[in-house]
Chain A
Amino acid sequence: MPGAAREEGIAMSEEIKVDLELDLKGLLCPLPMVKVSQNIGNVPVGGVIRAVATDPGSMADIPAWAKSTGNEVLSAEKQGNEFVFLVKRVK
């Protein structure tokens, strides 16, 4: 049910307060993950980064980064050619 998931994802994005927007378009491995990591300290604990990437590999890498660093990916969704992430700083 990709359609349903997508609608839900959009609804989520609207509810969540985004503290920082990150434009990762055009960047390739390992830069999307590195940029998220460099910027996570710029939002408060509990804060959210909205990152938009075009590298399909980031769909695997950013959740893996979050898992390893103890942060949380609230949503990761493909929107056309872009991959949109909501990443919450947990600690």
Chain B
Amino acid sequence: MPEENEKQKSLAMVVMSGDMDKLFGAFIIANGAAAMGMEVTMFFTFWGLRAIKKNVSTGKTLFGKMLGMMYGGDISKANPSKFSFGGLGRWMFNKMMGNHNVAKLSELRDMAVQLGVNMYGCQMSMDVMEIPQEAFIDGVKEPVGVGFFLMKAQDADITLFI
């Protein structure tokens, strides 16, 4: 049994993937860790950024706007890494998960915010992809860089790259 004064355990996670299945893994682990009393850091970068985005259009330049259109929307647009079939796979998995009473991705993410999971956007990929902080859901902390993540990771008991 942990001592009263024992240091809080922590988990630091990079979420680079925007795939539905991998995001499920990321948020289930984050929720579990938070429930177990751990301090949780999720660092969202590149394709992972959409997981913390609201359903708003983004992009300033032509390329940025194109990216915002082709990879826009929010977490509900995440496709599975296999059997994507232009959205059919997403529909099928959502149906199957609904039948088995698994929480939706967006619900798992919102629960993680509620449980105090610390979510950060990667400043560099936000700049490159032209996704501003205002495009993120409430509860996402101000953007950070790799230095911040590494500081969290070197103190963490568990580190994951998803």
Q: Which residues of A contact B (CB under 8 A)?
A: 26-31, 33-34, 36-38, 61, 64-65, 67-70, 90-91
Chain B residues with CB under 8 A of A37: 34-37
4 closest Cβ contacts across the A-B interface? A37-B35, A30-B32, A68-B36, A34-B35
A-B contact list, 17 entries, CB within 8 Å: A26-B101, A27-B101, A28-B101, A28-B103, A31-B103, A33-B32, A33-B35, A34-B111, A34-B115, A37-B35, A64-B36, A65-B35, A65-B36, A68-B2, A68-B36, A69-B37, A70-B2
Chain B residues with CB under 8 A of A38: 35, 115
Q: Given the interface contacts A31-B103, A34-B111, does A70 sit within 8 Å of B1 by beta carbon?
A: yes
Other contacts beyond A36-B35, A38-B35: 10, CB < 8 A: A28-B100, A28-B103, A29-B28, A29-B32, A30-B35, A31-B103, A33-B32, A34-B34, A34-B115, A67-B1
Chain B residues with CB under 8 A of A61: 32
Q: When chains A and B are docked, how far (Å) is the Cα of A34 from the Cα of B1?
A: 19
B17: shortest Cβ distance to chain A, in Å?
19
Interface flag for B150 (CB, 8 Å): no
**What residue in chain A is nearest B6 (Cβ atoms)?**
A70
Interface flag for B22 (CB, 8 Å): no
Interface flag for B54 (CB, 8 Å): no
CB pair B101 A30 closer than 8 Å: no
Chain A residues with CB under 8 A of B1: 67, 70, 90
Q: When chains A and B are docked, how far (Å) is the Cα of A26 from the Cα of B103?
A: 11
Q: When chains A and B are docked, how far (Å) is the Cα of A27 from the Cα of B101?
A: 7
**What residue in chain B is nearest A34 (Cβ atoms)?**
B35
CB pair B4 A91 closer than 8 Å: yes
Within 8 A of A (CB), among B32-52: 32, 34-37
Which of A28, A30, A38 has most chain B Cβ within 10 Å? A30
Interface flag for B79 (CB, 8 Å): no
Q: When chains A and B are docked, how far (Å) is the Cα of A38 from the Cα of B31?
A: 11
**What residue in chain A is nearest B36 (Cβ atoms)?**
A68
Interface flag for B160 (CB, 8 Å): no
**What residue in chain A is nearest B4 (Cβ atoms)?**
A91
Contact with A along B75-119 (1 / 0, CB 8 A): 000000000000000000000000011110000000100010000
